[in-house]
Chain A
Amino acid sequence: MTGRIVIVGYGMAGARLATELHARPGDHKVTVLGAEPHRAYNRIMLSTLLAGKVDEADVELTDLAGQGADVRTGTAVTAIDRAARTVRTTTGEQIGYDHLVLATGSRAVVPPLAGLDVDRLPDRVVPFRTLDDCRRILAAVRDARTVLVLGGGLLGLEAARGLAARGLDVHVVHPVGHLMERQLDPAAGAVLAGTLARLGVRTHLGVSATGVAVSPDGVRLDLADGRVLDADLLVLACGVRPDTALAAAAGLTVERGVVVDERLRTDDPHVSAIGDCAQHDGVVGGLVAPAWAQARVVARLLTGEDTRDRYRPPPGVTRLKAAGIDLAAMGELPPPGVAHAPAGDDGAARCEELTFADPTRGTYARVRITDDRLTGAILLGDNPAVGTVIQLFDRGSPVPADRRALLLGRTVDPPGGAEPVASPALMPDATTVCRCNAVSKADLVGCWRAGARSVADVVTATRAGTGCGSCRDAVAGIVEWLSGVDPVEVTR
Chain B
Amino acid sequence: MTDGARAATTPGRTPHEAATHCPYCALQCGMLLSERDGRIEVLPRDFPTNRGGLCQKGWTAAELLDHPERLTTPLLRGPDGRLAPATWAEAYARIVTGIRDTQAAHGRDAVAIFGGGGLTNEKAYALGRFARVALRTRMIDYNGRFCMSSAAAAGMRAFGIDRGLPFPLADLGRADTLLLVGANPAETMPPLARYLTEQRERGGRLIVVDPRVTATARLADLHLQPLPGTDLAVANALLHVALTEGWVDREYVAARTEGFDAVRRIAAGWWPARAERLSGVPVADLEEAARALGTARTAIILTARGAEQHAKGVDTVSAFVNLALALGLPGRPGSGYGCLTGQGNGQGGREHGQKADQLPGYRRIDDPAAREHVAAVWGVHPDELPGPGVSAYELLDLLGTPTGPKTLLVFGSNPVVSAPRAARVERRLRDLDLLVVADFLLSETAAIADVVLPTAQWAEEDGTMTNLEGRVLRRRALREPPPGIRTDLRILADLSAALNAPSAPAAEVVAGDPSYPFLPSRGPLQPPDAPADADPRVVFAELRRASAGGAADYAGVTWERIDAADGVFWPCPDTDGPDTPRLFAERFATPSGRARFHPVEHRPAAEEVCAEYPFYLTTGRVLAQYQSGTQTRRVGALRRAAPEPFVELHPDLAARLGVEEGEELRVTSRRGEMRAPARITATIRPDTLFAPFHWGGAGRVNSVTNDALDPVSRMPEFKVCAVRVEKVTP
Give the distance to chain A from B62, nearest Cβ to Cβ, in Å: 14
A435 touches B623 (CB 8 A): yes
A177 at interface (Cβ–Cβ under 8 A)? no
Q: In the complex, which residues of chain B have a beta carbon less than 8 angstroms from the beta carbon of A44?
A: 271
A483 in the interface (beta carbon within 8 A): no
A388 and B280: CB pair below 8 A?
yes
Q: Residue A60 at the B interface, CB < 8 A?
A: yes
Tell me the smallest distance from the CB of B175 to a CB of chain A, in Å.
17
Contact B213 A54, beta carbon cutoff 8 Å:
no
Q: Please, what's the 1-or-0 string for B163-201, where 1 marks a CB less than 8 Å from any CB in chain A?
A: 000000000000000000000001000111110110000
Max chain A C-beta neighbours (<10 A), residue from B243, B265, B623: B265
A78 within 8 A of B: no
B271 pairs with A42, CB closer than 8 A? yes
Q: CA of A289 to CA of B275 in the docked complex: distance in angstroms?
A: 12
* Smallest CB gap from A51: residue in B: B244
With A61-B269, A469-B197 as known contacts, state yes or no: A54 contacts B281, CB within 8 Å: no
CB-based contact A415/B268 at 8 Å: no
Beta-carbon nearest neighbor of B273 in chain A: A319
Interface residues of B in 26-69 (CB under 8 A from A): 44, 52-56, 59
Q: Are A469 and B268 in contact (CB under 8 A)?
A: no
| Contacting residue for A391 out of B269, B274, B280, CB 8 A | B280
Bound Cα distance from A438 to B264, whole angstroms: 47
User: How far apart are the CA atoms of A62 and B601 in the complex, in Å?
Assistant: 10
Do the beta carbons of B280 and A467 come within 8 Å of each other?
A: no
Which of A382, A395, A438 makes the CB contact (< 8 A) with B641? A438
Q: Given the complex of chains A and B, what is the CA–CA distance between A54 and B241 in angstroms?
A: 11
Interface residues of A in 370-419 (CB under 8 A from B): 382, 384-388, 390-391, 394-395, 397-398, 400-401, 410-411, 413, 415-416
Q: Which of B80-88, B500-508, B650-658 is the contact stretch?
A: B650-658
Query: How many angstroms from the CA of A60 to the CA of B193 in the assembled complex?
Result: 41
Min Cβ gap B499→A in Å is 46
Instruction: Specify which of A41, A289, A400, A467 is in contact with B190 (CB 8 Å cutoff).
Output: A467
Known contacts A466-B59, A467-B54; is-contact A415 B652 (Cβ 8 Å): no
Q: Which residues of B contact A436 (CB under 8 A)?
A: 53, 55-56, 190-191, 623
Complex contact A384–B282 (CB within 8 A): yes
Decide yes or no whether B246 CB sits under 8 A from chain A. yes
User: Is B219's CB within 8 Å of the partner chain A?
Assistant: yes
Chain A positions within 8 Å of B420 at CB level: none
Residues from chain A with a CB closer than 8 A to the CB of B262 are 62
Kindly state whether residue A90 has any CB partner on chain B within 8 Å: no
Of all chain A residues, which has the CB nearest B263? Answer: A62
Q: Point out the residues of chain B lying under 8 angstroms from A57, CB to CB.
A: 264
What is the size, in residues, of chain B's interface with A at 8 Å between Cβ atoms? 59
Write out the residue numbers on chain A whose beta carbons fall within 8 Å of the beta carbon of B682: 411, 413, 415-416
Q: Are A387 and B280 in contact (CB under 8 A)?
A: yes
Q: Are B268 and A60 in contact (CB under 8 A)?
A: yes
Q: Are the CB atoms of B283 and A391 closer together than 8 Å?
A: no
Nearest CB on A from B653, distance (A): 9
Instruction: Chain B residues near A438: list those with CB within 8 A.
Output: 56, 623-624, 637, 640-641
Chain B positions within 8 Å of A413 at CB level: 682
Shortest Cβ distance from A326 into B: residue: B284
Residues on A with beta carbons closer than 8 Å to the beta carbon of B244: 45, 48, 53-54, 58
Instruction: Give chain B interface residues in 201-250, CB to chain A under 8 Å.
Output: 213, 215, 218-219, 225, 227, 243-246
- Give the chain A neighbours of B59 by CB distance below 8 A: 437, 463, 466
Contact of A59 with B190 in the complex, beta carbons under 8 Å: no
Q: Give chain A residues whose Cβ lies under 8 Å from the Cβ of B264.
A: 57-58, 60
Decide yes or no whether A240 CB sits under 8 A from chain B.
no
Q: Which residue of A lies closest to B679 (CB)?
A: A416
Kindly state whether residue B279 has any CB partner on chain A within 8 Å. yes
Contact of B56 among A400, A411, A437 (CB under 8 A): A437
Contacts A62-B599, A436-B623; A416 near B268 (Cβ below 8 A)? no
| Complex alpha-carbon distance, A59 and B264, angstroms | 9
CA distance A390 to B281 in the complex (A): 10
Residues in B whose Cβ lies below 8 Å from that of A228: none
The answer to whether B683 touches A468 (Cβ under 8 A) is no
Whether B54 and A466, one on each chain, are in contact in the complex, defined by CB atoms closer than 8 angstroms, is yes
Q: Is the CB of A415 within 8 A of B683?
A: yes
CA distance A97 to B274 in the complex (A): 33
Q: Nearest chain-B residue to A465 (Cβ)? A: B53
A60/B280 in contact, CB under 8 A: no
A190 at the interface (CB under 8 A from B): no
In the complex with contacts A398-B652, A416-B681, A468-B53, A319-B268 CB distance below 8 A: no
* A317 CB–B CB distance under 8 Å: yes
Q: Evaluate contact between A45 and B265: CB separation under 8 angstroms.
A: no
In the complex the two chains form, what is the Cα distance from A386 to B682 in whole Å? 18
B122 within 8 A of A: no
Say yes or no: is A36 at the interface (Cβ < 8 Å to chain B). no
Q: Are B277 and A391 in contact (CB under 8 A)?
A: yes
Interface hits, B640-689 → A, CB 8 Å: 640-641, 651-652, 655-656, 681-683, 686-687
Bound complex: CA of A62 vs CA of B193, how far in Å? 40
The answer, yes or no, to whether A63 is at the interface (CB within 8 Å) is yes
Residues of A near B196 (CB, < 8 A) are: 468
B266 CB within 8 Å of chain A: yes
B681 cross-chain contacts in A, Cβ below 8 A: 415-416
Residues of chain A contacted by B640 (CB below 8 angstroms): 438
Roughly how many angstroms separate A298 CA and B44 CA in the complex, as a whole number? Answer: 63
Question: In the complex, what residue of chain B is closest to A416 when comparing beta carbons?
Answer: B681
Q: Chain A 24-42 against B: per-residue CB contact (8 Å), 1 yes, 0 no?
A: 0000000000000000011
Q: Is A307 on the interface with B (CB-CB < 8 A)? A: no
> Is B272 in the interface zone, CB < 8 Å from A?
yes
- Is B276 among interface residues, defined by CB-CB distance under 8 A? yes
Which residues of chain B are near A385, meaning CB under 8 Å? 282
The answer to whether B641 and A468 touch across the interface, beta carbons within 8 angstroms, is no
Q: Is B197 a contact of A401 with CB atoms below 8 Å?
A: no
Q: Contact partner of B268 among A58, A321, A387, A411, CB < 8 A? A: A58
- Decide: A42 and B623 in contact? CB cutoff 8 A: no
Look across to chain B and name the residue whose beta carbon is closest to the beta carbon of A409. Answer: B282
Q: What's the nearest-Cβ distance from chain A to residue B186, in Å?
A: 6
Contacts of A384 in B (CB 8 A): 282, 284
Q: Which B residue's beta carbon lies closest to that of A438?
A: B641
Distance, CA A62 to CA B600, complexed state (A): 11
CA gap between A61 and B266 in the complex, in Å: 6
Minimum Cβ distance to chain B for residue A333 (Å): 19
For window 282-305 of chain B, which residues contact chain A by CB distance below 8 Å? Answer: 282-285
| B323 nearest CB across to chain A (Å) | 16
A382→B288 CA distance, assembly (Å): 13
Most buried by B among A53, A54, A385, A467: A467
A410 pairs with B225, CB closer than 8 A: yes
Q: Which of A385, A387, A391, A469 has the most CB of B within 10 A?
A: A387
Chain A, Cβ-Cβ closest to B200: A470
- Contact yes or no, A58 B652, CB < 8 A: no
Interface contact A416-B683, CB-CB below 8 Å: yes
Whole-angstrom CA separation of A366 from B686 in the bound complex: 22
Residues of B within 8 A of A317 (CB): 277
Q: In the assembled complex, how far is the CB of residue A298 from the closest CB belonging to chain B, in whole angstroms?
A: 18
17 residue pairs bridging A and B, Cβ less than 8 Å apart: A45-B268, A59-B268, A62-B269, A288-B274, A289-B277, A384-B282, A387-B276, A387-B281, A415-B213, A436-B191, A436-B623, A437-B55, A466-B44, A467-B54, A468-B53, A468-B186, A470-B186
Which chain B residues have a beta carbon within 8 Å of chain A's beta carbons? Answer: 44, 52-56, 59, 186, 190-194, 196-197, 213, 215, 218-219, 225, 227, 243-246, 262, 264-266, 268-269, 271-274, 276-277, 279-285, 599, 623-624, 637, 640-641, 651-652, 655-656, 681-683, 686-687
A interface residues (Cβ-Cβ under 8 A, vs B):
41-42, 44-45, 48, 53-54, 57-63, 288-289, 317, 319, 321, 326, 382, 384-388, 390-391, 394-395, 397-398, 400-401, 410-411, 413, 415-416, 435-438, 463, 466-470
Given contacts A397-B687, A410-B213, 10 further A-B contacts (CB under 8 A): A42-B271, A62-B266, A386-B283, A386-B284, A398-B686, A435-B623, A436-B190, A469-B191, A470-B197, A470-B219
Which 5 pairs across A and B sit closest by C-beta, in order of nearness? A468-B193, A467-B190, A438-B641, A319-B273, A436-B190
